[in-house]
Amino acid sequence: MIRQRLLACLAAATAIAAAQSAAAQDCTINIGAVLSITGPNAAIGSAIGDAGRLAVDHFNEAGGAAGCKLNFVLRDDQGQPNVGVDAAKTLVSIDRSPVILGAIASGVSLPILTSVSVPSKVTQISCCSSAPTFTELAEEGGTQGYFFRTLPTDRPQAVVMAKIAKEKGYGSVAIIYVNSDYGNAMAKNFTAAAEAQGIEVTDVVGYNQEQASYRAEVSAALKGKPDALFLVAFPADGATITREWLAFGGSKQLLLSNAMRAREYVEAVGAQHLTEAVGIDNAQTEGPSVEAFNAAWTAEKGSPPEGPGLHTMYDATAVALLALEKAGAPDGTAIRDAVREVTGGQGTTIYPGPEGFAKAKELIAAGEPITYEGATGPIKFDENGDVTGPYLIWGVADGELTTLDQWDMARVDAALAEVSGQ
Amino acid sequence: MTGLAIYLVFFLTVASIYAIVVLGLNLQWGYTGLFNAGIVGFYAVGAYGTAILAGPDRAALIGGFGLPFPLALFGGMVLSGIAALIVGLATLRLRGEYLAITTFGIAISIQLVALNFESLTGGANGLVGLPRPFADRFDDPDLYGLVFLAAMLATVGIIYLALEAVVRSPWGRLLNALREDEVAARALGKNIAAIRLQAFVLGCMLTGLAGGLYVGFIGFVSPLDFLPILTFQIWAMLIVGGSGNNAGALVGAVTVWGLWTMSGLLISRLVPVGFHAQAGAIQTMLIGLVIVSTLLFRPQGMIGERAGGARFGRSNAPPVAKDRNWSTGGGGQQP
Under the banding of pLDDT at 50, 70 and 90, the label for residue A2 is low
CB-nearest to B7 from A90, A136, A206 is A90
Instruction: Supply the pLDDT for residue B257.
Output: 93
The three state secondary structure string of A310-368 is HHHHHHHHHHHHHHHHHHCCCCHHHHHHHHHHCCCCCCEEECCCHHHHHHHHHHHHCCC
**Residue type at position B285:** M
Nearest-neighbour CA in chain B from A269: distance (Å): 28
Cβ of A82 within 8 Å of Cβ of B274? The answer is no
Instruction: Supply the pLDDT for residue B326.
Output: 42
- ipTM for the predicted complex comes to 0.85
Note whether A356 and A292 are within 8 A (CB).
Answer: yes
Domain spans of chain B? 9-227
Could you tell me which chain B residue has the CA closest to the CA of A72? B273
Checking if the pLDDT of A70 tops 80, the result is yes
Could you tell me which chain B residue has the CA closest to the CA of A179? B124
Which residues of chain B lie closer than 8 angstroms to A204, CB-CB?
none
- What is d(CA A396, CA A296) in angstroms, rounded to the nearest whole number? 29
Could you tell me which chain B residue has the CA closest to the CA of A114? B219
- What is d(CA A80, CA B230) in angstroms, rounded to the nearest whole number? 9
What 8-state DSSP symbol labels residue A151?
Answer: S
What is the C-alpha R_g of chain A?
22
Q: Give me the DSSP letters along B214-235.
A: HHHHHS-B-GGGG-THHHHHHH
Cβ of B298 within 8 Å of Cβ of A1? The answer is yes
Q: What are phi and psi of A404, to 5 degrees?
A: -95, -35
Nearest-neighbour CA in chain B from A213: distance (Å): 18
Note whether A261 and A243 are within 8 A (CB).
Answer: no
Nearest-neighbour CA in chain A from B189: distance (Å): 43
- Kindly state the average pLDDT of the residues A49-63: 93
What is the C-alpha R_g of chain B?
20
Could you tell me which chain A residue has the CA closest to the CA of B258? A9
Residue numbers of chain B with a pLDDT score lower than 70: 1, 273-274, 277, 306-335
Digit-coded pLDDT (tens) for A92-144: 999 999 999 989 988 999 999 999 999 999 999 999 888 888 988 998 888 99
Q: Which of A134, A133, A91, A81 is nearest to A112 (CA)?
A: A81
Cβ of A15 within 8 Å of Cβ of B266? The answer is yes
Cβ of B230 within 8 Å of Cβ of A82? The answer is yes
List the domains of chain A with CATH numbers: 2-151+288-378 (3.40.50.2300), 154-276+390-421 (3.40.50.2300)
Cβ of B129 within 8 Å of Cβ of A76? The answer is no
Nearest-neighbour CA in chain B from A52: distance (Å): 11
Beta strands at A99-102 and A200-207: parallel, antiparallel or unpaired: unpaired
Q: Which of B250, B214, B243, B192 is nearest to B35 (CA)?
A: B243
- Kindly state the average pLDDT of the residues A33-46: 83
What 8-state DSSP symbol labels residue A150?
Answer: S
The burial of B3, by beta-carbon neighbours within 10 Å (0-12 exposed, 13-18 middle, 19 or more buried), is given as middle
CA angle A93, A99, A105 (to 5 degrees): 100
Cβ of A108 within 8 Å of Cβ of B224? The answer is yes
Under the banding of pLDDT at 50, 70 and 90, the label for residue A12 is low
Digit-coded pLDDT (tens) for A250-262: 999 999 998 888 8
Instruction: Supply the pLDDT for residue B315.
Output: 38
Digit-coded pLDDT (tens) for B258-308: 988 888 888 888 887 667 767 777 777 888 888 888 888 888 888 877 654
